[in-house]
Structure 1
Amino acid sequence: MSLTMAILLLLGMWLSVAAAMLWGVLRIVRRHTHPHHLPPQALAKAQPLRRARRHAGAH
Structure 2
Amino acid sequence: MSLTMAILMLVGMWLSVAAAMLWGVLRIVRRHAHPHHLPPQALVKPQPVRRARRHAGAH
Tell me the TM-score normalized by structure 1. Answer: 0.69
Report the identity percentage: 75
RMSD: 2.3
CA distance in structure 2 between the aligned counterparts of 1:9 and 1:51, rounded to whole angstroms: 54
Deviations 1:12-58 (A, max 9, x none): 000000000000000000001110123x17x52x754215868x8xx
Point out 4+ residue stretches in structure 1 off by more than 4 angstroms: 51-54
Is 1:23 matched with 2:23?
yes
Unmatched tracts of structure 1, length 5 or more: none
Query: Max radius of gyration: which structure?
Result: 2
Q: May I ask how many residue pairs the two structures share in their alignment?
A: 52
Which structure dedicates a bigger proportion of its chain to helix?
A: 1
Tell me the TM-score normalized by structure 2. Answer: 0.69
1:1-59 alignment to 2 at 5 Å?
1-38=1-38, 40=39, 44=42, 47-51=44-48
